[in-house]
Structure 1
Amino acid sequence: MINKLLFSGALVFESLSWAMIFREPTLLEGMLYIVLPHAVACILLALALWMFLPMRYKSPVPWAPLFLFSIAFFIPLLGMIGVIFSVFPALYLQRKREEQVWQATGVPGLPFRPLERRHSPMFQDGGLQDVLFLATDPERRLNALLATRRMPSHESVPILKLALRDPADDVRLLAYSMLDQKESGINHRIERLLDRLGKSDDESPEATHVGLARWYWELAYLGLAQGSVLDHILGQARKHAEQSLALQSNPEVHLLAGRIALEQGDLSAARTSFKHAETGGIRFEKIAPFLAEAAFAAGQYEEVPRLLARLPQHALSRPPFADLARYWL
């Protein structure tokens, strides 16, 4: 109802304005009888059209209705007609909206804190050693230790030994238990091989000696023995490696014997074993790091870059040789 009154008022005032044009009014009469009725008509028309607009086009106020008024008022004669014929067809002859199969959204900002946080996460950001050093929650440090079960022994043992110095009793006990489990498993294998070696029906004593040498070496390599116990274990590993070689020559066993001798500090025996391993068919790239270690231990530093240079380029570009290559080559 109010829209009809507004449109009717706009039509009346605009008709009065047009009627006065043909009477040749003076300037003052033109301002009073032409411009003023035209302005009132434009105001009424702008309000009427603004009320017809959809809600999203009605704001901001007062700029939306002021825009309609400006078009109607400042364009003589055709302003009001143009506004009417531009608004109404747009309102009643709208294009059909096609079904939108996707929704465009802006890129969300990064949250200050994680949106979702587990109470007991199994894995943490960063290395497991960082978790043991930096995590204040003992449960997180326990989870870091449990994650080492999925790692090779030579990578997990240093982390477990680090956890032995943890202030929490539960963490220390778990680390000790896991280390003891690894050591017990190796000792159990050694006992079984020793029992087999003592039997007269052992069909392959050289293989039994090799197994004993490898498992003794595993105890030393993983750092599960120290001090005089380590010396005894290395001695047993070397003894069984030599006994196996006395029964049957094997380049892999020569390489193992060389590593054991290198760990004992017997550089001459280590180099001899490495030479036999290379003669037996072991690739030099596999032996070169140990020869470089022996050269460094003997003080022959000029030999180190020459030996490392014989490694393949792809091996020198990744750990553990990347840092060595940057320093020596």
Structure 2
Amino acid sequence: MRLFLILCNSILLVLALGLEIYGFKLILNESLSEQILITSLFLHFIASIIAACIFPTIMASNRKQPQLKINIFFFVVVFYLPLLGLVGLTLAIPFIIRHSPKSQKTNFVVSLSKIRNLPDIPAQAIDDNFASLHSLYRSRNPDKRLKAIYASLKIKDQDAIPLLRMALSDPVDDIRLLAYALLDRKEHGISERIKHSKQKLEKIENSRNKRLYRQIANDYWELANLGLTQGEARNYVLNMACKYIELGLKYYPQDVGLCFQYAQILLKLGNFERAYEQFKKAESLGMEHKKLLIYYAEIAFHRHQYHKVKQLMAEIDYPAAYPQLTSVVQFWQKRN
């Protein structure tokens, strides 16, 4: 297949050079007429289009799909530099190929059908070594990067998923494929839990099972919060979480856990007014005020109430309360 592609590109390149040279010869003809000029320009235009199609695949062969901008760039170079542009790019091909990064290969073959059936490993196993795992992935050695991706099975999802998303743009096909398969495995596992919970809910006569409503909402929330869904799919998942929390609150309006979770989902959806109301309701039902400070601060920030953000941040006991937000808390506490 690769040999066929090289052969096709070579034929097209020779054709482009032939059209360019022939058009140039027509212009040099002593009896230059308008018709000859138009013919020469047309041949040059066709040669430029051919060059724009083949040069990205020759010079950027490691790309899955050449971007339109790259095609336009080569077209402009060849079109606005008649003959010189095409000849110059052709002469540059051996140099570009010699110095382009070779596509890396590993001895590992990903079996997509088996990824979902991999056994679950306790997340606590290497939590302390997450930083070293991240460093391992930055290695130039593809086998080490592959080990880092496999080791993500042993860390918590909130740590593993950013690493796997980073690996989706890895130059090695096997690593990209494994990262995609592991992300798919995580999403599939949560989706299966949602499916089973919904089936259980349907079997209950009056459907007043608070635990199941919370479980389904939790799983939808996890899909969105961990970054397993993006864009419109993420909004859909959050709205589904919202739906099941609202069903739970219909039967258990005074449940502090449901109120708190409802507020978090509303906050993610950008419904700041209703989110604030639900956080306040959770507080009135017994949730500790200190646990809600960071959420009140976020809502105040979105409302552009920066003075209030500073006041709320000043009340937060860091790093004990929010170790991951220590730098953010320090920033607001130091502001005048």
Which of the five TM-score ranges fits, normalised by the shorter chain? Answer: 0.5 to 0.7
Partner of 1:73: none
| 1:126-155 per-position Cα deviation (integer Å, ceiling 9, x unaligned) | 53333323x111110011112222211111
Q: Aligned partners of 1:174, 1:278: CA distance in 2, in Å?
A: 44
The question of whether the paired residues in 2 share the 8 Å contact of 1:315 and 1:321 is answered with: no
Output the CA distance in 2 between the equivalents of 1:201 and 1:266. Answer: 33
Is the contact between residue 318 and residue 329 of structure 2 (CA under 8 Å) also seen in structure 1?
no
2:298 & 2:132 partners in 1: Cα distance? 28
Do residues 179 (structure 1) and 183 (structure 2) align?
yes
Q: Write the letter of the residue equivalent to 2:297.
A: A
* 1:18-167 mapped onto 2 (5 Å cutoff): 127-133=132-138, 135-167=139-171
Residue equivalent to 1:287? 292
The separation in 2 between residues aligned to 1:263 and 1:153, in whole angstroms, is: 19
**Structure 1 contact 292–308 (Cα < 8 Å) conserved:** yes
Q: Is 1:270 the equivalent of 2:281?
A: no
CA distance in 1, matches of 2:207, 2:233: 31
After superposition, the Cα gap between the structure-2 partners of 1:321 and 1:226, relative to the gap in structure 1 and judged at 3 Å, is closer
Q: Distance in 2 between matches of 1:313 and 1:222?
A: 24
Q: 1:315 aligns with which of 296, 314, 320?
A: 320
User: 1:204 offset after TM fit, Å?
Assistant: 4.3
Unaligned runs of 5+ residues in structure 2 are 1-125
* 1:258 to 1:203, Cα distance in 2 relative to 1, 3 A: closer
Counterpart position of 2:305: 300
Q: How many Å separate the matches in 1 of 2:264 and 2:304?
A: 18
Instruction: Name the CA distance, whole Å, in 2 between partners of 1:178 and 1:246.
Output: 37
Partner of 2:256: 251
* Matched residue type, 1:195: Q
Higher relative contact order (CA 8 A, sep 6+): 2
Distance 1:239 1:180, change over 3 A: same
Change (3 A) 1:291 1:126: closer
The aligned counterpart of 1:326 is: 330
Aligned residues: CA RMSD: 2.2
CA contact (8 A) 1:295 1:303 kept: yes
5+ residue gaps, structure 1: 1-121
Q: What TM-score do you get using the length of structure 2 for normalisation?
A: 0.58
CA separation of 1:171/1:266 partners in 2, compared to 1, >3 Å: closer, same or farther? same
> How far apart, in 2, do the equivalents of 1:170 and 1:313 lie?
42
Over 3 Å counting, the alpha-carbon distance change for 1:234 and 1:131 in structure 2 is same
Contact map agreement 2:167 2:175 (CA 8 A) in 1: yes
CA distance in 2, matches of 1:125, 1:306: 34
Structure 1 CA distance, aligned partners of 2:137 and 2:230?
Answer: 23
Aligned counterpart for 1:225 among listed residues 217, 229, 233: 229
- Distance between the aligned counterparts of 1:313 and 1:132, measured in 2? 30
1:140–1:304 distance in 2 versus 1, CA, 3 Å? same
TM-score after normalising by structure 1 = 0.59
For 2:169, give the aligned amino acid. R
Q: What secondary structure is seen at the aligned counterpart in 2 of 1:127?
A: helix
In our comparison, the structure showing a higher alpha carbon Rg is: 1
Question: Which residue does the alignment assign to 1:241?
Answer: 245
Q: Paired residue for 1:261?
A: 266
**Structure 1 CA distance, aligned partners of 2:300 and 2:320?**
20
Give the secondary structure class of the aligned counterpart of 2:306.
Answer: coil
Q: What is the identity, as a one-letter code, of the residue corresponding to 1:196?
A: K
By how many angstroms is 1:321 displaced?
2.7
State the match for 1:31 in structure 2: none
Contact 1:213 1:237 in 2 (8 A): yes
Question: How much has 1:246 moved relative to structure 2?
Answer: 1.3
Q: Quick check: 2:221–2:237 contact (8 Å CA) kept in 1?
A: yes
Indicate the structure with greater helix content.
2
Separation (CA, whole Å) in 2 of partners of 1:206 and 1:126: 39
Aligned residues: 206
Tell me if the contact between 2:201 and 2:207 (Cα under 8 Å) persists in the aligned partners: no
For 1:313 and 1:168, the matched residues in 2 are separated by 41
- The answer to whether the Cα contact below 8 Å between 2:316 and 2:329 also exists between their aligned partners in 1 is no
